[in-house]
A and B are shown apart, each in its own frame.
Chain A
């Protein structure tokens, strides 16, 4: 039987996380008051998760919650890479323990952190991650020439002539005129963008959506960038 009146769905939010580095509540209070006084409106009723992983000793969780609420934050729960016993204790006190999806915040284990730093380099070639390196071409790309930056962004220091074609799996930056064809996000990447200092292209395409020159009238002959918004190409003035 379906619940017509309610529905549960998982959604990601950005929450403010307060990292506490000491169990001395008086110090925490003093620093918090100082912080809030700098921008009272900004902090008013802001949901707060308290990260306790940098604490070496236990703390009065109830007192922390009271302090947070007293300063007009909305207390959500605790988080941090702590042992199971501590989690259990927190739950028994009636507070929620929030698990972060990423463990990047972990500062306890430097080895683990190093591994995390290495990871993005290893996956730069994967289009899914869109962490492309740059292929840099110096000089003009002439009519009949074709340049493909596979799993890379393409940077052209020069113009792209009519009848020339530049293709990249990532973004395309042209420090010159774009008079030929530019195809960005060629392997399927709808966040890819095309930048040029003078838009006079025959064709621009992002992730399979394309424009012929007649669609570029608005920014024709001026510095422009082109991106994909809701599967529709749009252009904007660059400077």
Chain B
């Protein structure tokens, strides 16, 4: 059985698509068969982040409507052969999806993939509900600021009440907290919520802390998920996230501000 992981947040712009791309690619790099699904119908972004926007012929909605087969719509990643992307439709809206057909597509994908990573749209409406409905696990992407934390809290409530697992009374969705755009310096200055603050409010297990990094924007524009940038803090932090998702225990990095020593100042380290 494939593990269905939804990357969700409630609030927009916190890094859901960046994280979906990094997680999908990271798992594939570890040798797992992974499919990334863009649930953000009408605001198709995942293909851009993955750098496959020019190869989109058919999309998720075409498959749902029976206008294309899954194999026609799935785009194989050029970097890692075990990764496929199912892009969203840019011309339709979120009502194009329905539970029954989404369920069928996921079931079909589950036969040939180890992981199904669902990139959720923002909000708490039908689109977001559709993305989380069939999930086994949820990566709740949160920025260290109060509005994002509150929206994440709301989504956690939805995960516990509106998902398939909740409706059928099965084991609840496994929740993971992914803190993105974290700046230890600003936490020290009291401008940003700390990891502990967010953990205290949401009280779910921490999956990873991604530091605020220039590398993320660069990676997005280049269509190269930041996890491929193994020199960057953000790339390394996503690498740790993958290891933790695969059950390893990895210490958290990038939680304290770097103290610049005299040598790094002199040599611009």
Contact = CB atoms under 8 A, between A and B. Distances in A.
Interface of A: 139-145, 158-159, 161-164, 177, 179
B150 A159 contact: no
A101 to B, nearest CB: 49
Given A162-B150, A163-B150, A144 B201 contact: no
Contacts of B156: 140, 142
B157 to A, nearest CB: 3
B102 interface: no
Contact of B154 (A144, A158, A159, A177): A144
B112 interface: no
Given A162-B150, A163-B150, A143 B157 contact: yes
A161 B201 contact: yes
Interface string B119-158: 0000010000000000000000000000000110110110
Contact of B160 (A142, A164, A177, A179): A142
Contact of A145 (B151, B161, B200, B203): B161
Contacts of B203: 140, 158-159
A163 B201 contact: no
Nearest to A144: B154
Given A139-B160, A145-B157, A162-B150, 5 more contacts: A141-B157, A143-B153, A144-B124, A163-B154, A177-B200
Interface hub of B150, B153, B200, B203 (most chain A Cβ within 10 A): B153
Contacts of B161: 145
Interface of B: 124, 150-151, 153-154, 156-157, 160-161, 200-201, 203
16 contacts: A139-B160, A140-B203, A141-B157, A142-B153, A142-B154, A143-B153, A144-B124, A144-B153, A144-B154, A145-B157, A159-B201, A159-B203, A161-B150, A161-B153, A162-B201, A163-B150
A212 to B, nearest CB: 18
Contacts of B153: 142-144, 161-163
A67 B193 CA distance: 75
Contacts of A144: 124, 153-154, 157
Contacts of A158: 203
Q: 8 shortest A-B CB distances, which residue pairs?
A: A142-B157, A143-B153, A143-B154, A144-B154, A161-B153, A145-B157, A142-B153, A142-B156
A164 B203 CA distance: 15
A162 B203 CA distance: 13
Nearest to A163: B150
Contacts of A140: 156, 203
B132 to A, nearest CB: 14
Contacts of A177: 200
Nearest to A161: B153
A179 to B, nearest CB: 7
Nearest to B149: A162
A158 B153 CA distance: 14
Contacts of A142: 153-154, 156-157, 160
Nearest to A141: B157
Nearest to B160: A142
Interface hub of B124, B156, B157, B200 (most chain A Cβ within 10 A): B157
A177 B200 CA distance: 9
A234 B151 CA distance: 32
A141 B154 CA distance: 10
A184 to B, nearest CB: 22
A143 B10 CA distance: 11
A196 to B, nearest CB: 15
Nearest to A142: B157
